[in-house]
Structure 1
Amino acid sequence: MTSEPIRDFSLLRDALGPLRDREQVALRLLESSARHSFDPDRELEWDRPPEDGKWFWPPELVSLYGTPLWRRMPEEQRMDLARHEAASLASLGIWFEIILMQLLVRHIYDKPVTSNHVRYALTEIADECRHSMMFARMIEYGGTPAYPLPRFHHHLGRVLKTFSTTPGSFAATLLGEEILDWMQRLTFPDERVQSLVRGVTRIHVAEEARHVRYAREELRRQMVTAPRWERELTRISCGQAAGVLSACFVNPRVYTDVGLDRREAVAQVRASGHRREVMRSGARRLTEFLDDVGVLRGAGRTLWKRSGLLA
Structure 2
Amino acid sequence: MTATVPEARVDMTDDRQDTAERLLRSSAELSFDPTTEVDWETPLDRTHHGMSPEWSSLYGTAYWDELTEEQRTELTRQESASVASTGIWFEMILQQLVLRDFYAKDPTDPAFQWALTEIADECRHSIMFARGSAKLGAPAYIPKRSVVALGRLCALTYSGEAAYASILVAEEVLDVMQRDWMRDERVAPFVRTINNIHVVEESRHMRFAREETRERLRGTGRLRRQYQAVAVAAAAYFIVTSMWNEQVYENAGLDKERALREAKANEHHKAMLRSSCAGLMEFLSSCGLLTKPALRFYRRANLI
When normalised by structure 2's length, the TM-score is: 0.94
Shift of 1:160: 2.4
Letter in 1 for 2:276: G
From 295, 300, 310, the equivalent of 2:294 is 300
CA RMSD of aligned residues (A): 1.6
From 70, 73, 82, the equivalent of 2:64 is 70
From 199, 222, 231, the equivalent of 2:216 is 222
Partners of 1:176 and 1:135 in 2: CA distance: 15
From 235, 239, 263, the equivalent of 2:257 is 263
- What do the CA deviations read for 1:254-288 (whole angstroms, capped 9, x no partner)? 11112222222111111111011011111111111
Q: Which residue pairs with 2:76 in the alignment?
A: 82
Match status 1:141 vs 2:132: no
Letter in 2 for 1:247: T
From 227, 244, 259, the equivalent of 1:233 is 227
Match status 1:113 vs 2:107: yes
Partners of 2:245 and 2:235 in 1: CA distance: 16
Q: Which residue pairs with 2:3 in the alignment?
A: none
Shift of 1:227: 4.5
Match status 1:165 vs 2:159: yes
Q: Which residue pairs with 1:23 in the alignment?
A: 17
Moved over 4 A (4+): 13-16
Within 5 Å, give how 1:264-283 maps onto structure 2.
Answer: 264-283=258-277
Q: How many corresponding residue pairs? A: 298
From 18, 27, 31, the equivalent of 1:37 is 31
Shift of 1:232: 2.4
Structure 1 contact 15–225 (Cα < 8 Å) conserved: no
Segments of structure 1 that go 5 or more residues without pairing to the other structure are 1-12
Instruction: State which drifts further: 20-29 or 234-243.
Output: 234-243
Q: Which residue pairs with 1:126 in the alignment?
A: 120
- What do the CA deviations read for 1:197-240 (whole angstroms, capped 9, x no partner)? 00000000000000000000110111223444432221111111
Letter in 2 for 1:289: F
1:214 and 1:14, CA in 2 relative to 1: closer, same or farther beyond 3 A? farther
Partners of 2:287 and 2:31 in 1: CA distance: 30
- What do the CA deviations read for 1:10-46 (whole angstroms, capped 9, x no partner)? xxx9878341110000000000000011100011111
Segments of structure 2 that go 5 or more residues without pairing to the other structure are 1-6
Structure 2 contact 46–73 (Cα < 8 Å) conserved: no
- What do the CA deviations read for 1:33-92 (whole angstroms, capped 9, x no partner)? 000111000111110112352211111111100101111111111111011111101100
Partners of 1:16 and 1:301 in 2: CA distance: 35
Partners of 1:226 and 1:41 in 2: CA distance: 43
